[in-house]
């Protein structure tokens, strides 16, 4: 998930967490919980787990529900046998209507048992939460999509539009095999759809569990790493010299970390800031309104950009994340390198960003190169009312009184791989997150039981609405 803090960015910290209370689960929710539990308890980390096993277990459940083998495609690239996934197709009655793709990822971030309070791969229910790695990101949505297709089949219902489900591996690890990328390049016909519904949207609770806002993700930045490298003949440390690889690199890193890229707007961020201007303190709201009219206004920029989330949403950002230099305690460094992680505003060519970094550094001794993998340039999908309209209407039904808007993610999802094959992808709302991020990518990941179950009802309703 990547929505965290977008709608709470201007809010003050709330009191300590209140223990969540949940009602007894309905029979259909208990059946869903079994799917979810099995998925959470299947280790799908890159180091020790298997997405292939998780995909096979879900395929077994889908077949038991009545899906024929011909409707299920299990895939794994031979050199990455444990990083497989699956695609499931439920044909619709209208053969002329384009399909809807439900996208999710099976892999999870690494989790060390010694660091966690509970075993990360045993789902524990405690104080109104489900604990375990992947309980939120992204096995909640992957389980919901699977459950929706199973319920369609067991109820004997057929959607008007074909539904496709793609659950893949590799979303959480930069240099791993990525199933969404592989499908787009090797089996585009298998996942072809008018649009896709993905992770990335969601809702925000306050610290008492009260829902504050909902957002649908419409677009995201492109993640691209660059390497900075300074070289030097080196020499004995007892004879320092003015030209020094570490010094050159240090100055370059300061230049990168303090460089401000210009403000940019697209349809998504313009809509977001127009909405958020009404919900922020007057000084900030007026500054946002000024920037919407004139993105080069320095005074308004200074006010709005004090908020880190607003700052990142408004522009490309680059920051140094890794540094390595030198080869001996008593020697001048012959080489100094740094990784710069950039989150580029949609539509930005990475070569343009490289040129901007070079201009900011202003030192030809520092080489700047793109670090693989080089992802596709992000293209924001249109604000399609046929997709976003039902999302808002159903949100009013399931979460009455909770405002909903559109957001652009400063993070990244597998949506980036679908736009090159013509599938605009939207991050669905429905699952609510706590202000502290629920331990996603960190320790003791969890999700409120009410968030999961209410989100399941919403997302299932959404799929039925869009498909019919």
Q: What is the pLDDT of residues 438-468, one digit of tens each?
A: 999 999 999 999 999 999 999 999 999 999 9
Half-sphere exposure of 167 (CA within 13 A, CB side): 33
Q: What is the DSSP letter of 341?
A: E
| Mean pLDDT, range 228-239, rounded to an integer | 97
The whole-angstrom separation of Cα 166 and Cα 145 is 9
Q: Is residue 19 part of a domain?
A: no
Judge if 292 and 366 occupy the same domain.
Answer: yes
- Pair (128, 259) in one structural domain: no
In a domain, 199, yes or no: yes
Question: Residue 194 pLDDT more than 70?
Answer: yes
Tokens of 67: 């899906």
- pLDDT given at position 10: 35
Residues of the domain holding 407 = 27-220+378-467
Residue 153 belongs to some domain of the structure:
yes
Q: Are 4 and 437 in contact (CB under 8 A)?
A: yes
d(Cα 430, Cα 202) in Å, to the nearest integer? 5
Whether residue 226 is found in the same domain as residue 210: no
CATH code of residue 282? 3.30.70.360
Clarify whether residues 261 and 356 are in a common domain: yes
Give the confidence band of 411 by pLDDT, cuts at 50, 70, 90.
confident
Instruction: Please give the distance of CA 307 from its chain centroid, rounded to a whole number.
Output: 21
Are 252 and 193 in a shared domain?
A: no
DSSP assignment of 62-90 equals HHHTT--GGGEEEE--TT-TTS-EEEEEE
How far apart (Å, rounded) are the C-alpha atoms in residues 420 and 438? Answer: 32
Q: Which of the four pLDDT bands, split at 50, 70 and 90, describes residue 175?
A: confident
> Which residue, 371, 389, 407, sits at the end of a domain?
371
Residue 5: what pLDDT?
A: 41
Proportion of the chain above pLDDT 70, given as a percent: 95
406 and 332, same structural domain? Answer: no
Looking at 343, 371, 399, which one is the last position of a domain? 371
Judge whether 109 lies within some domain: yes
Is 16 domain-assigned? no
> Is there a single domain that holds both residue 68 and residue 199?
yes
Tell me if residue 277 falls in helix, strand or coil: coil
User: Would you state the pLDDT for residue 1?
Assistant: 36
Residue 2, pLDDT > 80, answer no
H helix count then E strand count, the chain: 13, 19
Which pLDDT belongs to residue 16?
35
- On whether residue 364 sits in a domain, the answer given is yes
Residues 208 and 316 in one domain: no
Same domain, 328 and 400: no
235 — phi, psi (to 5°)? 150, -170
Is there a single domain that holds both residue 392 and residue 366? no
pLDDT tens track for 348-398:
999 999 999 999 999 999 999 999 999 999 999 999 999 999 999 999 999
Of the candidates 211, 216, 176, 182, the one whose C-alpha atom is nearest the C-alpha of residue 73 is: 182
pLDDT at position 243 over 50: yes
Q: The CATH number of the domain where 154 resides is what?
A: 3.40.630.10
End-of-domain residue from the set 371, 392, 411: 371
Closest CA to 54 of 38, 65, 67: 38
Nearest alpha carbon to residue 121 among 241, 41, 18: 41
Indicate if the alpha-carbon torsion angle 367, 373, 377, 381 is positive or negative: negative
**For residue 139, which of 49, 77, 73 has the smallest C-alpha distance?**
49
When pLDDT is cut at 50, 70 and 90, the band that residue 22 belongs to is low
- Residue 15 pLDDT greater than 60, yes or no: no
Q: Give the model's confidence band at 410: pLDDT under 50 very low, under 70 low, under 90 confident, else very high.
A: confident
Predicted local confidence at residue 202, as pLDDT: 94
Does residue 6 fall inside a structural domain? no
Band (pLDDT 50/70/90 cuts) for residue 279 is: confident
Quick one: tokens of 89?
């197709």
Structural domains of the chain, count: 2
Handedness of CA 15, 309, 8, 105 (dihedral sign): negative
Residues 198 and 60 in one domain: yes
- Average of per-residue pLDDT values in the chain: 94
DSSP β-ladder status, 195-198 and 100-105 = parallel
- Distances in Å between the alpha carbon of 313 and those of 173, 273, 345? 23, 10, 8
88 domain residue, yes or no = yes
The structure tokens 């009260």 sit at: 210
- pLDDT, tens digit (0-9, with 9 covering 90-100), for 35-80: 999 999 999 999 999 999 999 999 999 999 999 999 999 999 999 9
Indicate whether 150 and 124 sit together in one domain: yes
- Average pLDDT of the segment spanning 162-184: 95
pLDDT at 228: 98
DSSP letter for 407, please. E
Local structure of 220: helix, strand or coil: strand
Cβ atoms of 109 and 203 closer than 8 Å: no
């Amino acid at each position: 998930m990547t929505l965290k803090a977008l709608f709470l960015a201007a809010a003050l910290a709330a009191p300590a967490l209140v223990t969540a209370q949940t009602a007894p689960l309905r029979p259909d929710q208990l059946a869903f919980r079994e799917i979810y539990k099995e998925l959470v308890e299947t280790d799908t980390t890159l180091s020790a787990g298997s997405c292939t096993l998780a995909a096979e277990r879900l395929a077994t459940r889908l077949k038991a529900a009545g899906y024929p083998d011909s409707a299920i495609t299990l895939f794994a690239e031979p050199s990455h046998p444990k990083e497989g996934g699956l695609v499931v197709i439920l044909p619709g009655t209208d053969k002329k209507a384009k399909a809807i793709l439900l996208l999710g990822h099976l892999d999870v971030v690494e989790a060390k048992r010694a660091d966690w309070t509970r075993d990360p791969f045993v789902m524990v229910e405690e104080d109104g939460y489900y604990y375990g790695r992947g309980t939120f990101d992204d096995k909640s949505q992957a389980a919901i999509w699977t459950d929706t297709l199973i319920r369609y089949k067991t109820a004997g219902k057929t959607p008007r539009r074909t539904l496709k489900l793609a659950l893949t591996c590799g979303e959480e690890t930069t240099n791993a095999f990525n199933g969404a990328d592989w499908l787009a390049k090797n089996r585009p016909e298998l996942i072809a759809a008018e649009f896709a519904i993905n992770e990335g949207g969601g809702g925000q609770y306050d610290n008492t569990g009260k829902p504050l806002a909902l957002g649908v993700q419409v677009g995201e930045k492109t993640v691209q790493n660059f390497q900075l490298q300074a070289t030097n003949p080196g020499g004995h440390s007892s004879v320092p010299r003015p030209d020094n690889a570490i010094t050159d690199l240090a100055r370059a890193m300061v230049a990168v970390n303090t460089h401000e890229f210009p403000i940019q707007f697209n349809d998504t961020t313009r809509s977001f800031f127009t909405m958020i201007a009404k919900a922020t303190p007057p000084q900030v709201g007026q500054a946002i309104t000024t920037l919407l009219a004139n993105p080069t206004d320095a005074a308004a920029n200074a006010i709005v950009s004090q908020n880190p989330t607003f700052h990142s949403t408004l522009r490309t950002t680059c920051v140094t994340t890794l540094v390595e230099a030198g080869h001996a305690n008593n020697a001048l460094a012959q080489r100094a390198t740094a990784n710069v992680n950039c989150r580029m505003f949609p539509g930005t060519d990475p070569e343009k960003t490289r040129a901007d970094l070079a201009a900011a550094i202003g030192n030809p001794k520092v080489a700047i190169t793109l670090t693989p993998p080089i992802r596709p340039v992000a293209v924001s999908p249109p604000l399609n009312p046929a997709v976003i309209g039902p999302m808002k209407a159903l949100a009013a039904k399931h979460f009455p009184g909770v405002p909903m808007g559109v957001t652009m993610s400063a993070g990244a999802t597998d949506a980036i791989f679908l736009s090159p094959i013509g599938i605009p992808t939207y991050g669905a709302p429905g699952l609510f997150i706590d202000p502290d991020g629920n331990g996603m990518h960190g320790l003791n990941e969890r999700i409120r039981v009410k968030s999961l179950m209410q989100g399941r009802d919403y997302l299932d309703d959404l799929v039925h609405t869009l498909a019919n």
